[in-house]
Structure 1
Amino acid sequence: MRAAVLTRFGAPLTVREMPDPEAGGGEVLVEVLATCVLPYAAEVFSGERNYPLVPPVVPGVGGVGRVVHVGPDATRLHAGDLVWCDSTVRSRDDALTPDITLQGWSSRGEGGASLARYLHDGSFAELMRVPTENVYPLPAAAGGDPARWAALGVHVIPYGGLLAGGLSAGETLLVNGATGNLGSSAVALALAMGAGRVVAPGRNQAALSLLADRFGPRVRPVPLSGDEAADQAAMSAAADGPIDMVIDLLPPSAPSSAARTAAMTVREYGRVVLMGGVGMLGGDDLALPYPWIMRNSVTVRGQWMYPRTANTGVIRLLASGTLDLTPERVRTFPLDAVNDAIAYAATHGGPFDRTILVPPFG
């Protein structure tokens, strides 16, 4: 097969021939039809984000594909099935605190690193070996536009955060980082899940206008000034009532003060879910006031990625049309143009911009 390989951090990816992966028991071999190139991929491959990838490695986070071969433990998957491949791989020997690796992308702790050494390569290739439990059947409609459906890998992340926070229909949600790739997805998902209002703060006025135009009055854009007190007041006013939940999806470049300002708009007994990258590159701690958390009975929860069931949930939202992929701006690149795709993604990371790699097979 042909694959794009990161030979060392800071070097362009190299497209070359590699041996076809072989799926063993508990695994599925998948032909990759489309995989998302994340806006911050260049930061990962340069080494700026200090991700625990070990070159040489085929990177790539999940994708849409077609089953080539299934192991003996698969009872419902068959060769030829159209599927979504989830990159979040969990160890099978600890039900309470499984180790996690993001196949072809990142990992957590030594246990996650051990998983990454075994499931080393990701989806920037013609073929990919995936654990059976990470393969999800897709509706036939996805076969008509697999590149558009590859955005599932973006949507499932904030969906996991909304599930973790227990978002209920009719509630008011504040999405911190709403003008970004993941944040804008959180806005769309929250509305699909029945949120009454979504407060969307940001500095990018064009992106805020795009959200308001697409979703109408249930989205309340808030242009930010950088003044903590003024921004907090503006977000609270835009909600026109209590803010039940805050989800933070700010990137590593954002200061902790921006996360704190948004978090402290939540109502008494409200929930705050932290999913962004604040602090990953250094800087001040979040420093939420202890008395404020305690006296207001606020729940603050961290959430890395999502439960397995989130994949099924997003697929159902997409299949039903409740979450609509039609307005998304999709740009595709062949495998040979992988470095062009990475550069394009870095400058097109706004709301509903998708950069997709489509490795041709054969």
Structure 2
Amino acid sequence: MESIQKTMKAWRLEKMGGKLELKEIPIPEVRAGSVLVKVAVSGLVSYLKSYTEGQLAVYNPPPHEFTMGSNAIGYVEAVGQDVWHLKPGQRVVLSSHITARENVKSPMMILLGITKNGDTALLAQLDWPDGTLAPYVLAPAETLTPLDGLEQYTDVQLSAVTRFVVPYGGLLKGQLAAGETIVINGATGSFGSAAVFLSVAMGSSKIIITGRNKTMLAEVAQKAGPRVVPVVLKGNPQEDALAIKDACGGGADMAFDMVGNAKDPNSTLAALFSLVPGGRLIIMGSMAVDLPVPYTYVMINSWSIIGNFMYPKDATRKMLELVKSGQLPIDVIEPQVFRMAELHQAMDAAASAGNLQNIMIDCQS
């Protein structure tokens, strides 16, 4: 620790809806099982401004002032005891998804610098309250994945990895197999469009992308290639399901639902009704209403409806192999970088960013 300064400026939030300011705080010291990371860039989620303003009641931030920020690209600065593979100077991607290490039936879970999965996860959040909108962050060793073998990419380019890994977790949960047909509902959103390119990389024979914005669907299809077929939804589940099935050539093996804050369930139901018998629906979006499940249809067709949150610990490592092989083109995501002092402008940009844009903070500026 003698080689670096003892304090740093970090974006600290008093509470959701409380004071947000760039404050001088101590650089954290490593402890057993932890890694101190020098943060290069930290990507911003689209809802960060609403979060800071206290508009998202479903989130559970730390009960005291904390440093915001979630996923990041950085470099190992120092490691604590019980960290054996990661070395100082190594470039890593940091995942905000932290799950308790203990071998228990229901491990507590938090998102670093954002929220916790219910009050039972308070202990985990108190141990790891601070996120990545700072020059240095302390994180559990298991949240870091080495970026060895990717030297041709800049830190800014590699930040796109954090965009892809969330939908990749859902595709893994749904056991998407090469040669299958998949429907991606909400394909014009940031995570939905990422799922399109992932499905191509994972070998889907046909990817049907759905939404209501014809222009944005066409843009994603044009960039993702000939296996991608857009279907513009009209709002009637039965009619839309027929249009999707026609585009599939009979029906889909899997539907991946990544709708953002939908006010009705119609597009999700259309995706469900488009499945072949034995098909599965993966739910990963943020629909604002309940999903009325047609009990008899689900039973007769042997459909599986599977909810999924985030991704397993090894998902980033597996996905990086798709990047290294050239199957997953992370450069389709357009980066826009702001300085540390420009967080407010960056949050505005993130809130209005297009589905193929990635807003981030240069944490060393």
TM bucket normalised to smaller? over 0.9
Counterpart-to-counterpart distance in 2, 1:12 and 1:150: 28
Q: For structure 1, which runs of at least 5 residues remain unmatched after alignment?
A: none
1:12-51 map, 5 Å: 13-50=20-57, 51=59
Counterpart-to-counterpart distance in 2, 1:288 and 1:153: 32
The yes-or-no answer on 1:244 pairing with 2:278 is no
Counterpart-to-counterpart distance in 2, 1:96 and 1:221: 41
Q: Do 2:42 and 2:361's aligned partners in 1 also have CA atoms closer than 8 Å?
A: yes
Residue deviations 1:122-144, cap 9 Å, x none? 11111101101111110253575
The yes-or-no answer on 1:354 pairing with 2:358 is yes
Aligned residue in 2 for 1:206: 215
Secondary structure in structure 2 of the residue aligned to 1:74: coil
Aligned residue in 1 for 2:13: 6
Aligned residue in 1 for 2:343: 338
Aligned residue in 1 for 2:5: none
The yes-or-no answer on 1:326 pairing with 2:334 is no
**Number of residue pairs the alignment of both structures matches:** 356
Counterpart-to-counterpart distance in 1, 2:51 and 2:88: 33
Q: Do 2:244 and 2:251's aligned partners in 1 also have CA atoms closer than 8 Å?
A: no
Residue deviations 1:176-196, cap 9 Å, x none? 110000000000101100011
Secondary structure in structure 2 of the residue aligned to 1:141: coil
Aligned residue in 2 for 1:292: 297
Counterpart-to-counterpart distance in 1, 2:37 and 2:74: 6
Q: Do 1:178 and 1:202's aligned partners in 2 also have CA atoms closer than 8 Å?
A: yes
Counterpart-to-counterpart distance in 2, 1:188 and 1:260: 23
- The one-letter code matched in structure 2 to 1:288 is V
Q: Do 1:61 and 1:153's aligned partners in 2 also have CA atoms closer than 8 Å?
A: no
Residue deviations 1:16-74, cap 9 Å, x none? 21111112001000000011111122222222222101352211112111001111212
Normalising by the residue count of structure 1, what TM-score does the alignment of the two structures yield? Answer: 0.94
The yes-or-no answer on 1:53 pairing with 2:66 is no
Counterpart-to-counterpart distance in 2, 1:10 and 1:109: 19
State the identity as a percent: 31
Q: Do 2:110 and 2:116's aligned partners in 1 also have CA atoms closer than 8 Å?
A: yes
* Residue 107 of structure 1, CA deviation: 1.4
Aligned residue in 1 for 2:4: none
Counterpart-to-counterpart distance in 1, 2:320 and 2:116: 25
Query: Which of 119, 122, 127 is equivalent to 1:110?
Result: 119
* Residue 119 of structure 1, CA deviation: 0.4
Q: 1:10 to 1:109 in 2, by over 3 A?
A: closer
Secondary structure in structure 2 of the residue aligned to 1:18: strand
Aligned residue in 1 for 2:90: 81
Counterpart-to-counterpart distance in 1, 2:324 and 2:18: 39
Q: Do 2:182 and 2:254's aligned partners in 1 also have CA atoms closer than 8 Å?
A: yes
Q: Do 1:13 and 1:339's aligned partners in 2 also have CA atoms closer than 8 Å?
A: no
Counterpart-to-counterpart distance in 1, 2:100 and 2:82: 17
Residue deviations 1:256-311, cap 9 Å, x none? 232222222111000111111113xxx3x211111111111111111111111111
